[in-house]
Chain A
């Protein structure tokens, strides 16, 4: 008899052709989780990392101690930002398929994560996003034209042609430059927060990675430094269940929640329904206040679902059940907030349709303007001389020579 291997190999719950299966998810009922004081010690609130903070229940009512009691106007703004993010994503996805941009990453289903968190933070707080957090850029009011020009790498590209599409940044908007390397932003955000503390400012830093990236050393480095120095930072792990084709169990989510790594390092860890605008806002606001008042960093795991492909280079039907998103137990963030607002009498389907049309028109107009600054195939192009600038503050001799050689090459 062949003895079975003692090595455990994590598996995805459902593969293509199989029925979607989310029974592995550990959920708490809406409103069931308590809300500790902002000043609570991390070691006393460890169980928070295993529960799931929810405010909106399945009937779109806001319940429980985490209810943020936000102004309806605020919620409408949130809805608008989320919808704009989604519509922008859809339009840019189509644009990529039409060959007008080379690459795109959507955040379908994760709009609340970025938008709600951003709205719970202050404009002076420094954000260190990953590449699926475009809701932050939209919520911080970055011009769509500017974002599109970055996708086009055209003459108005904020990155001057140096970066892949979606790697935005904004110094004024306090949005750090996005890296193609995973998790590098985590310890950088901790350092920024340490600097704010050293300088005695009450700005905090917030940063985002996917659960898959939490396997990287930088994740652990960040938690260690955040803990040792009690840096005023929000460390967000967006658990959207998938890292390209790799299920979250492979990043360690099977044995323990990602939030639970927080208490492991001696910092607060909290797990929240990432598709619940109100819950996300509430948890973020709680963690931000902790950081600002010297109660230290928080590891926030946002439980959500990557509804679309990893990027325009990916096809998820090859590794997960088709339409599984429709079975996601925690619903859709835009739909849920919309229904909640309607229930409050503060929104309507008609207004939603109208807003959709308005935002679509705005996106279309922005695209029309963006392409005047150049496209992949025609219009003005960036000067390749730019390739040699910003390597250093001053261009050194050897780069001046290389630039001359490049110019000669082109004739």
Chain B
């Protein structure tokens, strides 16, 4: 066991897998010699060699297209897209090819590619460094979509992703790389070293897909969330003194519908929170499922907390970011609707 921040946990996952499986390779911009702009692949090229940790040109479409070919050729590529904001040039290869190979070839071909990419705001990164596009990918059948919220989950989920024979898009909330963040920018930053989920086993372990984590058990309201919002929601509920059950989905596709529904049936009240833009966001899917499965147990309308439907602004970071106030208002509305 060791205390790790999320970056170290991800590094540890990749290191362990490079070690255990010779078919695993890493590729991406600045990841090899330099170790990645977020240091996620630090030291790995030195340790495992240039043929295993490959620096690529700035061509996201080529990175993903080549990763597919490599995977078909028997390798197990982990491709980094430097920021989720830049994933779109590779969107065609992901949606039209990666997601469908197994299906259209009736299982004769498949590509076990993992695409890792930092996402999310709270870092004053503006619209090209702060997006959360997970909702665009959850809509495409054939890819798994994962977003951990802490180092323990990050390492275990990344290992599961690399071992999975299905393609995975693995979103890493960059605001959580160094420590949990509860949405209050004026607080001093807390490192992962003091957090229980910063305790990470050294070797290989797996966190399964399709299983949500109940971060906090509660009886009054269910908060369904993922990524940075896990910590924001925790703060909001605590500030209100509400006994909230907080669920960290961490696996969006496949989705743990059973945990969601058991919780809402127990509490009768539900808040869905994500950083991504509101309209057509992944939260809308959760709302629809909760409405379908738990309708007769609902005491109040399901509340949704999300980013505003604008491009991510630079100067208005804290007005944009769905902080504890926004989550708090939603919790109140769920408890006592007008």
Q: Do chains A and B touch in the complex (CB under 8 A)?
A: yes
The answer on a CB contact under 8 Å between A186 and B65 is yes
Proximity bits, B239-254, A CB within 8 Å = 1, else 0: 0000000000000001
The answer on a CB contact under 8 Å between A198 and B75 is yes
The answer on a CB contact under 8 Å between B109 and A176 is yes
Q: Which residue of A lies closest to B109 (CB)?
A: A177
The verdict on A377 contacting chain B, using a C-beta distance below 8 Å, is no
The verdict on A184 contacting chain B, using a C-beta distance below 8 Å, is yes
Given the complex, which residues of A lie within 8 Å of B166, measured CB to CB? 392-393
Known: A184-B65, A221-B65, A224-B57. A396 touches B102 (CB 8 A): no
Given the complex, which residues of A lie within 8 Å of B57, measured CB to CB? 224-225, 228
The verdict on B185 contacting chain A, using a C-beta distance below 8 Å, is no
The verdict on B141 contacting chain A, using a C-beta distance below 8 Å, is yes
The verdict on A188 contacting chain B, using a C-beta distance below 8 Å, is yes
Given the complex, which residues of A lie within 8 Å of B74, measured CB to CB? 195, 199
The answer on a CB contact under 8 Å between A398 and B254 is yes
The answer on a CB contact under 8 Å between B69 and A195 is yes
The verdict on B142 contacting chain A, using a C-beta distance below 8 Å, is yes
Proximity bits, B146-185, A CB within 8 Å = 1, else 0: 0000000000000000001110000000000000000000
The verdict on A217 contacting chain B, using a C-beta distance below 8 Å, is yes
The answer on a CB contact under 8 Å between B61 and A162 is no
Please give the number of chain B residues whose Cβ is less than 8 angstroms from any Cβ of chain A in the complex: 44
- A21 → chain B closest CB, angstroms: 36
CA–CA, A121 to B333, complex, Å? 68
The answer on a CB contact under 8 Å between B97 and A171 is no
Interface members, chain B 201-219 (any A CB < 8 Å): 210
Most buried by A among B68, B103, B166, B254: B103
The verdict on A282 contacting chain B, using a C-beta distance below 8 Å, is no
Contact of B68 among A191, A199, A397 (CB under 8 A): A191
Q: Which residue of A lies closest to B209 (CB)?
A: A396
Given the complex, which residues of B lie within 8 Å of A159, measured CB to CB? 104-106
The verdict on B196 contacting chain A, using a C-beta distance below 8 Å, is no
- A299 → chain B closest CB, angstroms: 16
The verdict on A163 contacting chain B, using a C-beta distance below 8 Å, is yes
The answer on a CB contact under 8 Å between B255 and A188 is no
Known: A162-B103, A181-B92, A189-B69. A396 touches B254 (CB 8 A): yes
- A167 → chain B closest CB, angstroms: 7
Most buried by A among B59, B66, B67, B106: B66
Query: What residues make up the interface of B, taking CB atoms closer than 8 Å to A?
Result: 25, 51, 56-57, 59, 61-62, 65-75, 77, 89, 92-93, 96-97, 101-110, 141-142, 144, 164-166, 210, 254-255, 257
Sample 18 A-B pairs with CB under 8 A, ordered by A number. A158-B105, A170-B108, A171-B105, A171-B108, A176-B109, A179-B104, A188-B68, A188-B69, A191-B66, A191-B67, A191-B77, A192-B72, A194-B73, A199-B74, A205-B69, A225-B66, A392-B142, A393-B165
Known: A191-B66, A192-B70. 16 other contacts (CB 8 A): A163-B104, A177-B109, A181-B97, A188-B66, A191-B69, A199-B74, A221-B62, A224-B57, A224-B62, A225-B57, A225-B66, A390-B102, A390-B103, A392-B102, A393-B110, A398-B254
Which 7 pairs show the lowest CB-CB distances between chains A and B? A191-B69, A187-B65, A195-B73, A191-B66, A221-B62, A188-B69, A192-B69
